[in-house]
Amino acid sequence: MFLYEYSTDMIAKAVEASEYDGVEFWIETPYFWIDRALEKLECFAGMELAFHAPVLDLNPVSVNNDLCELTLKETLYTISLAKKTNAKMVTIHAGKRSAYREPVWADYNSLHKYLRISSRFARIKEKILCLENSEQSINNLCKKAEELRKFAEFYDLSITFDVKHAIANAEEFYSLLSRFQNVHISDSDEKRRHVQASKSERIAKILRDLSELGYDGFITVELDDLGIGNMDFGKKVEILKEEAEFVRKIFKK
């Protein structure tokens, strides 16, 4: 959401100006999503590229079967797009029970279907599929490490470890490190928005743990500008640089 309102060309300029080596592109970014024109992704050529599958208004375990089917369709589209653009991996969400209550067997059955089809398709397309640990909300699936392990192992999935989603219980996920392919880093504000990790000692500790454990995969800075304040493009680049320096000091990259 940090560069949500920008064109892909401007996103690429921000990546270069802030001295990152790539981007995890959320394909629901409006400039691309409105027509899904492939040429709009050409600006990322030569960069490390990953995709995040669509999640807005979607849910792979919805009580509405039509919504489940649409979510699956868009995930398969994202995997195909990764193949066409040589993106390294695709991150997906496990979804949530439609009611704000603990998930039940029907929700888990839906997740099994979603992951069974998505994982097979990813193998056909020779793309890494990463299941992200969910926010700590009562109706979310795969918010607990053991549940994430169960699904990742059963479908041989990689994991995108979102530090913000696991602030309270990060250590429980460390045993899954061998499956980590991507780490989302940010802190959480009072509205649970993604804000600067560099301002948080609790996030720094988790990252130091990951560094000491030998994590050497993708590291993705994930920010929401609404949690930080109004700013122009130059200020956003400045913040991205600060976050990159914070990460490099910990991982010595």
Task: Tell me the per-residue pLDDT of 178-208, one tens digit each, with 9 for 90 and over.
Answer: 999 999 999 998 888 999 999 999 999 999 9
Q: Which residues pair with 187 in a beta bridge?
A: 195
Coil vs helix vs strand at 143? coil
**Which uninterrupted H or E stretch holds 30?**
helix 30-33
Give the CA dihedral 132, 251, 207, 102, nearest 10 degrees: 0
Residue 152 pLDDT:
98
Contact 95, 111 (CB under 8 A): yes
The β-bridge partners of 183 are 161, 219
| pLDDT < 50: residue spans in the chain | none
* Residue entry with tokens 């704000």: 100
Q: Two tokens at 137? A: 């909300």
**pLDDT at position 67:** 98
Report the pLDDT value the prediction gives residue 174, as an integer from 0 to 100.
Answer: 98
pLDDT of residue 194: 92
- Residue listed under structure tokens 């993708």: 218
Ordered by where they begin, the domains of the chain are 8-251 (3.20.20.150)
What does pTM read for this prediction? 0.96
pLDDT at 141: 98
Structure tokens at 23: 């981007």
CA atoms of 253 and 247, how far apart (whole Å): 8
pLDDT at position 253 is: 55
Residues 6 or more apart whose Cβ sits within 8 Å of residue 30: 4, 5
State the DSSP H helix or E strand holding residue 169, giving kind and residue range, or none if neither.
none
Which pLDDT score, from 0 to 100, does residue 190 have?
Answer: 87
